[in-house]
Structure 1
Amino acid sequence: MTDEELARIHRAAFSAQRPWTASEFQSLQQSPHVFLVCSDHAFALGRVIAGEAELLTLATEPVFQGQGQGRSVLEQYHATARTRGAETSFLDVAENNLAALHLYRTAGYDQTAKRPGYYRQPDGSTVAALLLARSLISGWSKSTPES
């Protein structure tokens, strides 16, 4: 997927926030820590540093939302992050992005913190960012003590 295609999908999927530009996607992907996973109509961009994966963005073309494309690229993101040595994954999401929250919660993410007023909306108001995290280690859960 080209940087222009990434920007087009991001712009369509994130109409309530400032979309990322093709040059921003290009710049991010120049880092050896950043990786991209794609399907025909969705993508996830992540980075792994020191055993932690950060989901930078995940976007699905609006007409294909609800058809499993986002879930598919999220699973690819998890698998790729693990192969790069990540043991945990984290992300932030606008608290009013209910579709994304559902996707992340059903994928095993739990809220770890909240940043009030983090995202600016088109009308000038702000909405909190929820910080979510999950383990990428098979068989590990929050109730399992670390050894």
Structure 2
Amino acid sequence: MRFRELTLGDAGAVAALEAVCFAGDNPWSRDVFLAEIAQPHTFYLGAFDGEDEAMLGYAGLAMLGPRDDPEFEIHTIGVAPEHRGRGIGRALVDQMAHTADLLDGPMFLEVRTDNAPAIGLYESFGFFTLATRKNYYQASGADAYSMMRRRKSERDTKGRNT
């Protein structure tokens, strides 16, 4: 498995995987991914099978605010269902967290309240729940937790919240 930054040429493959990962919750289209990947304030990363270059997972991070005091938001993250449980999601979140830590910015995300594996993963990186957003996922009506991870300078040396 290898990781690389996604390019505009990857938008179709990301949209296809997003359609599988988020079938009931308005998955983003190729055009949305084209627009997101093209933004100067976003970083999109893909995990690929080393043998056939198949996309195994992806994640997108946006930097908001000024560079000297940024905030980061994970816009999307997905792993192909047949490849879950292999550490791909963890590796993607690790890269997103590393990026935010380089600029000492807090991170935010939304996650379905019924997605226990993802919630556990995020909590292992120091995310905690800020609030519940009712009917956040419009197609399914599912609720989401808004979660936050404090900036590196606010966490203790073990990465926990203080």
Same-fold call, TM cutoff 0.5:
yes
Q: Partner residue of 2:137? A: 119
Output the CA distance in 1 between the equivalents of 2:13 and 2:33: 10
The question of 1:70 aligning with 2:89 is answered yes
TM-score normalised by length of structure 2: 0.78
Counterpart for residue 97 of structure 1:
115
Residue 53 to residue 101, structure 1, CA distance change in 2 (3 Å): same
**Counterparts of 1:42 and 1:136 in 2: how far apart (Å)?**
25
Equivalent residue number for residue 10 of structure 1: 18
Alpha-carbon separation, structure 1, partners of 2:112 and 2:95: 22
Moved over 4 A (4+): none
| Paired residue type of 1:57 | T
Secondary structure at the residue paired with 2:109? strand
Kept in 1, the 8 Å contact 2:104–2:153? The answer is no
Please say if 1:48 is aligned against 2:63.
yes
1:137 pairs, out of 152, 155, 161, with 152
- Is the CA contact 2:154–2:161 (under 8 Å) kept in the aligned structure 1? no
Name the aligned partner's letter for residue 99 of structure 1. P
Q: How many residues align?
A: 139
Q: Is the 8 A contact 1:78 1:136 kept in 2?
A: no
Unaligned stretches of 5+ residues in structure 1: none
| Structure 1 contact 109–133 (Cα < 8 Å) conserved | yes
Residues 18-74 of structure 1 deviation map (CA, whole Å, 9 limit, x = unaligned): 111111001112211111122111111010122100000000011001110000011
Number of the residue aligned with 2:53: none
**3-state secondary structure, aligned to 1:115:** strand
Deviation track 1:84-142 (CA, whole Å, cap 9, x = no partner) reads x24200001111122211211222110011111221345xxx22111000124067153
Secondary structure of 1:96's match? coil
Separation in structure 2 between the aligned mates of residue 68 and residue 136 of structure 1, nearest angstrom: 24
Q: Secondary structure at the match of 2:78?
A: strand
For residue 100 of structure 1, what is the amino acid of its counterpart?
Answer: A
